[in-house]
Structure 1
């Protein structure tokens, strides 16, 4: 991605400005330009069409004749031009949750003021105006969609204006520092930058096929013009986002054996979608060598990678503050928050249609696509556009390295299937995002090099429960019945909790703030708040049940990876101890038709046991039929490394892999899953500039991706030596609420 090199001014970090000063700076950043005037003309034409449709649809709002409608168009344009800079300044002052709430009412405020000032217009009351404003937003999104031929030109233009304002503010801040005698660098000695985009859950084979089919025009162009190269990397096990990001951002996966796990020493369930748990795991990972430690920015990730700025990061549970202009601008722009809401509603309608088509055509395998997923799918559209705005602002500021995770494909593929049409549509939308970022890079303060990767893939298949009418927890309960001797039951954690991570992070930050919006959020979330942390979804109930009942056996599911913990015994049990304590458990699991293998620690090290044979992982000795064959040539290495991780279960279970189709049976109710081995779930993507070299080829494990990214940062001059980094100020790490 070739962009112009622009001089970068330092951020005004000497002193944090007050709220009023921040708002005044945001207001002064607005300038009338030719581009803005052209935009206002287009807005006027769009407003005429939209208002005519709104007045026709809303009986409580009326304009007298064509002259009154034209006057209304002029009034709306003028009021919007005057009020939006003021509202942007207010959103900048509010920051965080306040800006989000204000964003929902920006269009209402503009329309209500305009209707009040227009002499030939009658409006019934405020609720009618609220409804009319959202009808107008929906019609405007539809008109702009037709005008831009379905592209994001209007959104891009608005974002480019944001970047121009940010750069002017940064330049003014730099001059102010220089005038006060502060040390200021007028031209950054390193004009290079690195932008890393994570396409969550995209398998390498699927991406290659989509490129060959011509469905990803931007990635396809980069590959055909040889500006970039595409390779696959092997994730190993567990194939999850927390493990992938732990390895990619810190070079360490030893602390993350799955998406969730049980810790015998503290007798608690750890779920990485909960902000408090993610923060605790990050403290174990952080050694000062994070990928983003040297002024980097983390956006929408699970962990921060020692970033200086963390935006929408689960482990920090923080909304962007008032210094994040991209967030405020997105919330107040007509092409930002309100547009994303309308597009999200469109996604909701599309989801209802697609789910109905699956049912009518009897597409299998399939799972229910209602409930929480139906509510969360529109949120992916909002988060995607917000991520673009935040990335654009950081590029305009000149952040040396930016790492952002886009979860769109992963969320849809979990419920629709990895290669189904709706999942491919989500992948095409992400390709469009990459094209947008390429266009926005012309306003960047550095020459950003774009790297695209995924943290894991996905595998398809009917779930374990669908195939055998019982869950893994129910199988373990049946086999371990009465073996505990003290009546304690078997408990488990297999609910689909991954999609709740960022929602919980946002709400946790919101309830920890002060003010009326925070108080309203606390009141609404009281039932789901514990010790200052909001945990929607099944994770909190499962953790609470395990904590309160202290079961003798805990069963954990992450895709087609299951772990069984025998909690009465400290440490990890040997095979003989398991068989003595639970005589039916190990043999019963191995004999089950839905289970491909069980790994247990033996006298000679861990061994993988299948129905017709076993494989000693340490020396590779096989007895009978090798149970690892369906899981690929890297299975022994993956299972052995997994056994070396902290807090692995006494028994590690992998579901069966169907030969010929590579389908797995997830222990969660997801038709597209990841976490274990089998199918595409361990085949991830790495797209990087041509001429750059990989540390090893092929790359095996997220630690190898970390080493490669660090090497690239070194070559770009963006990585400080470890000794120098240790002497530098610590990255800002806001505490988790509560």
Structure 2
């Protein structure tokens, strides 16, 4: 996306001027019509519940109406007390609050209502779930597209935070929302089509501008967040092998992400000065982290974390609503997957049962929880909040980045932005909003669909007859269907639960351990001959029994067919290796290019000697510079392969079973976005996540939100 210059106009809600007292009541007002509608829904839901449960009876419909009114009156003072009690107990209390909190409120309301008989708490327990589910479904149906009900829920659950606000002064804070996987072309189309009303209004009104930034290699969330949050470039892929320790690092495992962050952090990350990290891979050195992978297994109990989540789950409009919509999301996924099969849409991949459940959890339950946590810390006056919403990325992996269901998920995130904008009208300090992505996505039929084999199978075929044979044991690379990336969000929540010394904690730890055993690390005394890993259309090949990074000459001596076979395969665009001279060499089917080799008399491209056809010709003007930077990262594989890209430069062939992918070069995966307040100036080229980090730090400094101390 070229830089978008908005139409002139006065900023609407994201400047200090927009926070005038005269405007705040109109923004936060709950309409009387909605209050009446909610009461009628409560009445109908309670009547239906009483009708279907044999343990509860009512003399008349007016008794049911009175019970609905009493339920609202009883819940108002007791729900915050239940949430506070649950948070004090810890995660076990949160679970008990989820199971019993609404049941206690329903039982109290029914018991106090004359004309209604309840056999006991068991009947009230069942009634609470039926009632909450019906109310949630009804509210969703009648308030679709209206965030007022959600806003009311957020204001109720964050009410207690206002008395403990940490804001100092009136300097605007910054809320940074990451839309995982959103490319510049997809954002531009969504804005033009009018499908993102909140973002579109910000840009059209002149309050915000949109810019494109170049991601580089690898185009993965861990690598980008290492740059965005810590300004560091030390992540070579989504998963990689470390020869010196024999460790397979998988960045969406909480212990591995903590291990990586210990290397990245200098204590001065993006969120170091009182910031809050929500739903990220790394913390950015935030003193407060929620649902963040690198801090989920920190080995300490965080009462505040349990209290904040308990406030969400005890409210019937909170967790119950999310569970109802999670179920609906799962049903929708099954329908959409079948629709692709029936219509014969290509490319497509199998959308497994595990993905159906994970889509429901990540795209509804965790999205709502993330939004609640962001609102909580806005109410507390946090100077900076950074939150990653993964909805679009997860669906686009399996459906395709421009398919209808993927674009619809962007509309859900846009509604979150609109709700947080309204929340900001009642916070102790004003807030500015920044929206950015970590990478884009590229589409295409997978490598296995095109050629009938995986990358690992191809490598083993080409190794056959080498000095050590091809039948040596290997390290399993984990699921190839993309569920490994999705599971990380659920695993983070389980890791946080697992910190509790309770039955709940033991269950969480057990589930997490069983999953992580699917991707075991190789022991140093039993190393496999080869490890083949995939990050989208980026493949990495390690020879763990050979110390250091092997040179092209050493690989050819061990496996004479391997490098030439990979470079000439129609599904592979180029191969990156290190030569004996120390230079990085890119091999293609009909040529080679030496990176950083200096001027050459003939066949030079940008100072790089090229023999035959340039293997990077189809991968854009940044490809050579991206590979030079990548080659200097720690733990780069002995052989790095990037899939083919079609003649138009758009479609790639993922080495995982994903129709939309990211990780390597080619297509839209390297074209990320940054939407920022219009009065904030972008200085310099946004080339790489590190450059975006420096720009964000500059803005925080200019806003007075960073400690001046080095």
Structures share a fold, TM > 0.5?
yes
Q: Which residue is equivalent to 2:293?
A: 314
1:274–1:535 CA contact under 8 A, matched in 2: no
Q: Which residue is equivalent to 1:735?
A: none
Matched, 1:499 2:486: yes
Going from structure 1 to structure 2, the CA distance change for 1:659 and 1:98 (only over 3 Å counts) comes to farther
Matched, 1:2 2:15: yes
Residues in 2 aligned to 1:53 and 1:321: alpha-carbon distance in whole angstroms: 40
Q: Which residue is equivalent to 1:195?
A: 175
2:110–2:117 CA contact under 8 A, matched in 1: yes
CA shift for structure 1 position 340? 1.0
Q: Which residue is equivalent to 1:180?
A: none
CA shift for structure 1 position 58? 4.3
Q: Which residue is equivalent to 2:565?
A: 588
Aligned residues: 671
Deviations 1:535-586 (A, max 9, x none): 464x532324677852111101000000100112111111110000111111
2:538–2:664 CA contact under 8 A, matched in 1: yes
Q: How does 1:202-601 map to 2 (within 5 A)?
A: 202-253=182-233, 255-317=234-296, 321-324=302-305, 326-380=308-362, 381-485=364-468, 488-493=472-477, 495=479, 496=482, 497-522=484-509, 525=510, 528=511, 534-535=512-513, 537=515, 540-544=517-521, 550-601=527-578
1:4–1:442 CA contact under 8 A, matched in 2: no
CA shift for structure 1 position 371? 2.4
Q: Which residue is equivalent to 2:675?
A: 687
The 3-state SS of whatever aligns with 1:257 is coil
2:567–2:574 CA contact under 8 A, matched in 1: yes
Residues in 1 aligned to 2:639 and 2:493: alpha-carbon distance in whole angstroms: 35
Going from structure 1 to structure 2, the CA distance change for 1:547 and 1:443 (only over 3 Å counts) comes to farther
Tell me whether 437-446 or 323-332 shows the greater mean CA deviation.
323-332
Deviations 1:619-654 (A, max 9, x none): 322111111122111111111111100001000001
2:87–2:93 CA contact under 8 A, matched in 1: no
Residues in 2 aligned to 1:399 and 1:623: alpha-carbon distance in whole angstroms: 56
1:104–1:338 CA contact under 8 A, matched in 2: no
The 3-state SS of whatever aligns with 1:507 is helix
The 3-state SS of whatever aligns with 1:399 is coil
The 3-state SS of whatever aligns with 2:519 is helix
Residues in 2 aligned to 1:363 and 1:594: alpha-carbon distance in whole angstroms: 21
2:586–2:595 CA contact under 8 A, matched in 1: yes
Residues in 1 aligned to 2:445 and 2:94: alpha-carbon distance in whole angstroms: 43
Deviations 1:47-87 (A, max 9, x none): 11111232344455443332442343244334323532331
Matched, 1:66 2:43: no
Matched, 1:634 2:611: no
Residues in 2 aligned to 1:414 and 1:500: alpha-carbon distance in whole angstroms: 14
2:91–2:505 CA contact under 8 A, matched in 1: no
Going from structure 1 to structure 2, the CA distance change for 1:579 and 1:114 (only over 3 Å counts) comes to same
1:477–1:490 CA contact under 8 A, matched in 2: no
Q: Which residue is equivalent to 1:615?
A: 593
Q: Which residue is equivalent to 1:148?
A: 143
CA shift for structure 1 position 130? 4.1
CA shift for structure 1 position 146? 4.0
Q: Which residue is equivalent to 2:5?
A: none
Residues in 2 aligned to 1:155 and 1:262: alpha-carbon distance in whole angstroms: 44
The 3-state SS of whatever aligns with 1:493 is coil
Q: Which residue is equivalent to 2:579?
A: 602
Going from structure 1 to structure 2, the CA distance change for 1:262 and 1:34 (only over 3 Å counts) comes to closer
Residues in 2 aligned to 1:132 and 1:161: alpha-carbon distance in whole angstroms: 23
CA shift for structure 1 position 43? 4.6
Going from structure 1 to structure 2, the CA distance change for 1:536 and 1:152 (only over 3 Å counts) comes to farther
Tell me whether 687-696 or 235-244 shows the greater mean CA deviation.
687-696
Q: How does 1:13-32 map to 2 (within 5 A)?
A: none
Residue segments in structure 1 that go unaligned for 5+ positions in a row = 8-32, 172-186, 529-533, 724-738
The 3-state SS of whatever aligns with 1:700 is coil
2:157–2:312 CA contact under 8 A, matched in 1: no
Going from structure 1 to structure 2, the CA distance change for 1:97 and 1:558 (only over 3 Å counts) comes to farther
Residues in 2 aligned to 1:638 and 1:706: alpha-carbon distance in whole angstroms: 18
Going from structure 1 to structure 2, the CA distance change for 1:590 and 1:252 (only over 3 Å counts) comes to same
Tell me whether 369-378 or 448-457 shows the greater mean CA deviation.
369-378
CA shift for structure 1 position 470? 0.9
Going from structure 1 to structure 2, the CA distance change for 1:4 and 1:158 (only over 3 Å counts) comes to farther
RMSD of Structure 2 on Structure 1 (CA): 2.6
The 3-state SS of whatever aligns with 2:534 is strand
CA shift for structure 1 position 369? 1.5
Residues in 1 aligned to 2:616 and 2:53: alpha-carbon distance in whole angstroms: 65
The 3-state SS of whatever aligns with 1:48 is helix
> Which TM-score applies when normalising by structure 2?
0.89
2:38–2:139 CA contact under 8 A, matched in 1: no
Q: Which residue is equivalent to 1:138?
A: 133
Deviations 1:400-421 (A, max 9, x none): 1111111111111111110000
CA shift for structure 1 position 152? 2.2
The 3-state SS of whatever aligns with 2:350 is coil
CA shift for structure 1 position 355? 0.8
Residues in 1 aligned to 2:642 and 2:631: alpha-carbon distance in whole angstroms: 13
